[in-house]
Structure 1
Amino acid sequence: MKNISCTVIIPTYNCSKTINRAVQSVLNQSVLPEKIIIIDDCSNEKELIDYLNELDKNPLIQVIFKKKNMGPGAARNEGMKVATSKYIAFLDADDTWSVNKLELQYYIMEKNDYYLTCHKTTYFADYHYENLDYADIRYKDFNKKNLFKSNIIATRSVMMKNDKRYFFYNKRYSEDYLLWLLIALNDEKMAILNHDLALYYDKFYFEKGLSSNMKEMFKGEKQNLKILYDLKYLTKVNYILLSFYFRGKYIRRLFLKNISYFLK
């Protein structure tokens, strides 16, 4: 089977129930990556550690065990540091990919010299496989202004050039959003594929996970704006206006969360 010049980065943390599903979705791709790098972020599950040690025997897979928990962004950075391929693709340990995801996305990256591409994702029970030829791929250049409205790029959907551009360390919330914004503000070529090529399995993730950390997510977004302002990507006026905009989004999220709670 053909290998493409792409490294798959998978951070793990106490995910013994889902990691095999994620890894198998990579091994079952229509084209294989150059390498799969799994970075364990100081898990304490013996079952997971034993499984990762077995995976490490596979020449296609490299497992890195961290001695300190640093969060998924920092874990991804450790994998990116040792990756030697032309491209990087990200997958979370509780998600999977369509069998043709790498092949289709790699083709579009190579054909158009994009810096980053992403695609739609869907809940696994709603997924319908598309047997696509290259000519059938629907995609369009990314409207970078829309990225400031919300983070519409799912990390599980990203393939990007491997030029050692990292996630910010010491950020556990919205660190992926900041990297996508920096790439967009540097006028890199970006595109989105209009196909569901990644699957998530927790339909109520945003209610149980993100919403429970809503305040921290808001703090992370505010920090992103401050970093962009300090790096002179934003004028003072833009910084102030966007700060008000993100605060309004946060208040709206809280309102919708409370409304949904009372309607249950």
Structure 2
Amino acid sequence: MLKCEWRVSSELPLDPDVAASVSVIIPCYRAAATIGRALASVAAQSHKPREVIIVDDASDDKTKKVLRELSEKYDANWLKVYFLPENCGPAAARNYGWEQAGQPFVAFLDADDSWHQEKIALQFGFMKRYPEVVLSGHDCGRESILVRRVARLCQIRPCTLKQLLWHNCLRTPTVMIKRAAVLHFPVDFRYGEDYYLWLGLLATGARAAFLDLPLAVVHKPAFGASGQSAALWRMEQGELRALQAVWRRGSVSSTMITLAMIWSGLKFSRRLLICMVKGRRA
């Protein structure tokens, strides 16, 4: 069983001079303005990952130029940059990076987000201590968390399939997963591909955990910005497809999935209302 309380000081006898056995994967598309910040937050980790893999998804702006400049700045054995010939979406870009990964653990970061400097040390330490856990996530916070010291105690909660049906607590920039996980991202999804994967893994019996520490910053809002109404609907469609897929696996009952889809629709209505209100104020 996973512990309810985790004492950081006693659970992490890790040597910071030895790189963590983690491949960080960052999909990148039109992210010239933010990819440097994301990469810098990885380079600043107290326990650095062994490698970082950036996959450019056929950006048509200055992103490629910025990536080439970053390649010259960092060690070539640590930072590996790949350029896809055509835009395939974040799922395909993450899968491509996953295939190149040479470490037993993979951590995902989006090109416009960043990590607290203790993220790898804490999460990798947890994953090493509990080998039965296939994937884990943690909380996100405001930019001010990046300069704070993390708490010495944190709650660790098992994340079950039924819980995930109601609330996706595993945001992609927080997830660390075993490289050998039996499923990858669905390449035919442009939205909801992460939710599909988490649900699919838990449906196979994989164990997941949530560390109640804010170790990442998502710099743009998940929803509610002006002009995002159309994207909100595509996000909702992706979520519904993910729910339907886990039902087809026979992992949840028809009653349970119907209630989950109704709940998803209610959440979508709330997000749409917030988006409309913010749009009028803008």
TM-score normalized by structure 1?
0.89
Take 1:127 and 1:168, find their aligned partners in 2: how far apart are those partners? 32
Aligned pair partner of 1:149 in 166, 178, 192: 166
RMSD: 2.2
Take 2:250 and 2:58, find their aligned partners in 1: how far apart are those partners? 36
Take 1:172 and 1:223, find their aligned partners in 2: how far apart are those partners? 11
Deviation at 1:244, TM superposition (A): 2.8
- Which residue number corresponds to residue 136 of structure 2? 117
Task: Could you list the structure 1 runs, at least 4 aligned residues long, displaced by more than 6 angstroms after superposition.
Answer: none
Deviation at 1:199, TM superposition (A): 1.2
What's the CA shift string for 1:105-143, capped at 9, x where partnerless? 01111111221111111121465522556xx44422224
- Which residue number corresponds to residue 195 of structure 2? 177
1:78-93 to 2 correspondences below 5 Å: 78-93=96-111
Q: Secondary structure at the match of 1:197?
A: strand
- With over 3 angstroms needed to count, the CA separation of the structure-2 counterparts of 1:217 and 1:52, relative to structure 1, is same
Take 2:103 and 2:278, find their aligned partners in 1: how far apart are those partners? 45
What's the CA shift string for 1:149-174, capped at 9, x where partnerless? 12221111000111152100110111
Take 2:191 and 2:256, find their aligned partners in 1: how far apart are those partners? 22
Q: Secondary structure at the match of 2:120?
A: helix
Identity %: 31
- Which residue number corresponds to residue 33 of structure 1? 49
Deviation at 1:233, TM superposition (A): 2.5
What's the CA shift string for 1:35-56, capped at 9, x where partnerless? 11000000012x3212222434
- What runs of 5+ residues in structure 2 fail to find an aligned partner? 1-16
Is the CA contact (8 Å cut-off) linking 1:42 and 1:68 kept in structure 2?
Answer: yes
Mapped pair 1:24 → 2:40: yes
- Which residue number corresponds to residue 244 of structure 2? 226
Is the CA contact (8 Å cut-off) linking 2:145 and 2:214 kept in structure 1?
Answer: no
1:111-260 to 2 correspondences below 5 Å: 111-113=129-131, 114-125=133-144, 129-131=148-150, 136-164=153-181, 165-202=183-220, 204-208=221-225, 211-258=229-276
Of 220-229 and 168-177, deviating more is 220-229
Take 1:227 and 1:238, find their aligned partners in 2: how far apart are those partners? 13
Of 247-256 and 68-77, deviating more is 247-256
TM-score normalized by structure 2?
0.84
Take 1:188 and 1:19, find their aligned partners in 2: how far apart are those partners? 32
Is the CA contact (8 Å cut-off) linking 2:224 and 2:278 kept in structure 1?
Answer: no
Q: Secondary structure at the match of 2:169?
A: coil
What's the CA shift string for 1:82-115, capped at 9, x where partnerless? 1121100000111111111101101111111221
Is the CA contact (8 Å cut-off) linking 1:119 and 1:195 kept in structure 2?
Answer: yes
Take 2:273 and 2:34, find their aligned partners in 1: how far apart are those partners? 33
Take 2:26 and 2:47, find their aligned partners in 1: how far apart are those partners? 18
Deviation at 1:186, TM superposition (A): 2.2
Mapped pair 1:53 → 2:88: no
Take 1:31 and 1:210, find their aligned partners in 2: how far apart are those partners? 37
| Number of positions where the alignment pairs a residue of Structure 1 with one of Structure 2 | 260
Is the CA contact (8 Å cut-off) linking 2:117 and 2:146 kept in structure 1?
Answer: no
Aligned pair partner of 1:8 in 24, 32, 43: 24
Of 78-87 and 244-253, deviating more is 244-253
Deviation at 1:69, TM superposition (A): 0.6
Take 1:163 and 1:181, find their aligned partners in 2: how far apart are those partners? 17
Letter matched to residue 78 of structure 2: L
Letter matched to residue 70 of structure 2: L
Aligned pair partner of 1:97 in 90, 115, 140: 115
Is the CA contact (8 Å cut-off) linking 1:127 and 1:196 kept in structure 2?
Answer: no
- What runs of 5+ residues in structure 1 fail to find an aligned partner? none
